[in-house]
Chain A
Amino acid sequence: MYVAVKGGERAIENAHRLLANARRGDQSVPEVTLDQISEQLGLAVDRVMSEGSLYDRELVALAIKQARGDLIEAIFLVRAFRATLPRFGASEPVDTGAMRVQRRVSSTFKDIPGGQILGPTFDYTHRLLDPSLAEGFVPEAPATAEASTAATPRVTDILGRDGLIESSPQAEDGAGVGDLTREPLNFPADRDLRLQNLARGDEGFLLAMGYSTQRGYGRNHPFAGEIRFGEVEVEFLAEEVGFAVPLGSIELTECQMVNQFKGSATEAPCFTRGYGLAFGQSERKTMSMALVDRALRARELGEEALAPAQDEEFVLSHSDNVQATGFVEHLKLPHYVDFQSELGLLRKLRQEFAEANAEPMKEAAE
């Protein structure tokens, strides 16, 4: 005798408890602390801050712990929290030219004012698994020197001074900055919303899209004009006091790509730009973002837009990994009612097919 399935509530409660235990793992193993995550898995924290659109290392470390290391799950937690926070307004534009650089490289010139600074990078390491890192590793103290007072002007500003690269498009005076988390995206998208979308976009997706442009799907001849990583001041214009108040500093990575030149009947040819920006040290992300930013400007720059990375609706609609995973994983939800409808239709069609094909067989039998 059939008894209807019940007890979903109990099942969920038990599932939550099981999850909490799986998350903690073997209790004889020490619990991982938020400090450990923030300090020693710093690049994971950087990524979650960027895609979660929230700069708070401690909170993000908690999210990563709660998500058991699943970074997209962590990004989801961070974004859901961010949605509850009150909004004061927008900061003053951050001056990346005044960044206290820890790393700064350019592939377009051999040497630049302020120098090429390698900084802490995996580049040039040999990817050999190092067992000495397993436990008790104490790194050598890094080399130190007098802090340099040399200015580190942006390479794109240097090119711009001679008019060799297009100027960055400026917003109209008094125009507000759009907010992707507060207004729905429309196509064609304005530059501010496009860049916000890419900044929050999934690193893997943007990496693949950027890679595709290099392989010929909408090639735009990129050079890494500059990649810089370091601390910048964030300032907020407090109306009560009438001047900009420093809120603190954050770490940013910025990438400026220099792309193939363009000209028109009325303008001399010059290089074009692609831009990438992310929290923390996120070079792969900012470089991919810059490649895709430039690809998405194809139509604006009068180029034929045939490649996937140049398709604005395609790229911007599918870059958000929280949305993407929500929809992909929603297939786990019960769909049996719709499946039932499909079954009914299929059975009917199969019956009709059988009837239609039954007649000639009968004739053959005669």
Chain B
Amino acid sequence: MNAPAYNFAYLDEQTKRMIRRAILKAIAIPGYQVPFASREMPMPYGWGTGGVQVTAAILGPQDVLKVIDQGSDDTTNAISIRKFFAKTAGVATTTATDEATVIQTRHRIPETALNENQVLVYQVPIPEPLRFLEPRETETRRMHALAEYGLMHVKLYEDIARFGHIATAYAYPVKVNARYVMDPSPTPKFDNPKMDNCPALQLFGAGREKRIYAIPPYTQVVSLDFEDHPFEPYRFNAPCALCGAENSYLDEIVTDDKGGRMFVCSDTDYCEGRQAAGHHGSLSAAPYKEKAGSHG
């Protein structure tokens, strides 16, 4: 029987070259979806094969890799992908955002600000922001080519007419470099402002749909809205119960079956870092400290 021998980071060099070519094209045309020949990967389509292919194509032996899902390093799929690269590339891995050179993420942007030496790789399920308004690929391709985005605004108009607000909570569409409308992947709209003028390179991989797109560093990224209904990032009503952070995205944890709830940072590295530095929330595991204006 043929026993397979794997290349560094699993993909063969020719495939990496093909993906890098797609990445370069994507960087040259910010926000434009570049078709690429997605390979069969050892994890299912829909579980991060696009992100994994992008990461595999850019990873070098000196890189330090962080993988998160829902903001946490410890969720099952993040672990699975991190182990995959540890096994096939032997690169160093980390949970600390500021130590990583490549960060692969699903559905969140880290709270810690990124720098110019970092690449953020997003896992994308449906790359086409217009897909649910227009199911045909032939038509959406044309709309992007001709910058015909009226339909996108129709959707926003409808939301305001019906709900009084734009009713998109995540995967909130943005305009990149004042030209292409892009889907930022299912990150909560809370994270949208982080994409604008970001010092790090942002790459987006959709394996099943076979598209790669990119936002080069320091590129303008604007969330779509109306002049009289401007984009508002989502605000939580309480700080993190563990570290007290007031500006981070919070997970809601159901604590009992009587409706008890608490809110903790979704970004586990950020939260642990703050706790290590002495910050505490109302329900942290550290000894109770009197805190002015606590929301206990």
Contacts and interface: CB of A to CB of B under 8 A. Distances in A.
Interface of A: 1-9, 11-12, 58-59, 62, 76, 79-85, 181-188, 313, 317, 322-323, 325-330, 333-338, 340-345, 348-349, 352
B101 interface: no
A2 B253 contact: yes
Most buried by B among A76, A327, A341: A341
B1 A8 contact: no
19 contacts: A2-B255, A9-B74, A59-B2, A79-B40, A80-B42, A84-B4, A181-B39, A182-B37, A323-B45, A326-B47, A330-B46, A334-B69, A334-B76, A335-B186, A337-B108, A337-B249, A338-B186, A341-B190, A349-B165
A79 B83 CA distance: 21
B230 interface: no
3 tightest Cβ-Cβ pairs between the two chains A and B: A326-B45, A330-B46, A341-B169
Most buried by A among B75, B164, B165, B170: B170
Contacts of B38: 184
A338 B262 contact: no
Given A342-B170, A345-B169, A8 B37 contact: no
B47 A323 contact: no
Given A187-B137, A330-B47, A341-B189, A4 B40 contact: no
Contact of A12 (B80, B169, B255, B262): B80
B264 to A, nearest CB: 7
A49 to B, nearest CB: 15
Contact of B35 (A184, A188, A328, A338): A184
Contacts, number: 151
A160 B106 CA distance: 56
A23 to B, nearest CB: 18
A81 B78 CA distance: 23
A338 B79 contact: no
A322 B164 contact: no
Contacts of A184: 35-38, 210
B44 A340 contact: no
Contacts of A337: 70-71, 107-108, 170, 186-188, 249, 251, 266
A340 B137 contact: no
B1 A342 contact: no
A2 B261 CA distance: 11
Most buried by A among B44, B75, B136: B44
Contacts of B188: 337-338, 340-341
B285 interface: yes
A149 B69 CA distance: 64
Contacts of B6: 84
Contacts of B136: 313
